[in-house]
Chain A
Amino acid sequence: GAGVSQSPSNKVTEKGKDVELRCDPISGHTALYWYRQSLGQGLEFLIYFQGNSAPDKSGLPSDRFSAERTGGSVSTLTIQRTQQEDSAVYLCASVGRTEAFFGQGTRLTVV
């Protein structure tokens, strides 16, 4: 497609379960970011990919969070043993030469 696609758009999960969030970036974009936006908060950087490697994963809040990218395209963000504080909107951005294009996000609710 022409834009950044994220799935699912909404996810409700029980505390302690694992979740996987998916991002399909714009074709040809080599760089990809994941951010988290909690209610009423700004954007918290999680991880950045250049191709399939992650030169900057300093924003991952704990070892329960991991991400991978395969084929220089699709990326998945996995949260293990989810906690209520993980509830947020998770945004993916696909980066062109200079600017980032954002998906609509996945709204994660941990109950």
Chain B
Amino acid sequence: AQSVTQLDSQVPVFEEAPVELRCNYSSSVSVYLFWYVQYPNQGLQLLLKYLSGSTLVKGINGFEAEFNKSQTSFHLRKPSVHISDTAEYFCAVRIRQETSGSRLTFGEGTQLTVNP
């Protein structure tokens, strides 16, 4: 079974500072990787995904993440954050297979708080 660990439960940063939210996963087979964002009192929105190919993936709102197979990591980064980036961020993993049939496993989430 796969699992996801988000190493930081809370990350406070100042506006315009860079940020990295860390995510490590474990799986015995190839996986798809995702980052979702949840703004206060809203549902989950997909930020970006890694399926195959280039290990650096770019998402919405200026976020990017890098898949590192040897370190089993998929850290999320943004070079300069805004107040509006304050939200909960979830890393997720799914086993790669031909059909859509496998569990999507989430980490515990990281609360990013951007202060002025």
Residues of A at the B interface (CB closer than 8 Å) are: 29-31, 33, 35, 41-43, 45, 48, 50, 55-56, 91, 93, 95-105
Contacts and interface: CB of A to CB of B under 8 A. Distances in A.
Contacts of B71: none
Given A93-B104, A98-B49, A103-B43, A42 B34 contact: no
A98 B100 contact: yes
B39 to A, nearest CB: 11
Interface residues of B, number: 23
A42 B43 contact: no
Given A45-B105, A50-B101, A99 B34 contact: yes
A33 B107 CA distance: 16
Contact of B104 (A41, A95, A97, A104): A95
Nearest to A3: B43
A97 B109 contact: no
A104 B43 contact: yes
A42 B106 contact: yes
Contact of B100 (A30, A91, A103): A30
A42 B109 contact: yes
B43 A56 contact: no
Contacts of B100: 29-31, 50, 95-98
Interface string B88-99: 001010100001
Given A42-B106, A97-B100, A102 B43 contact: yes
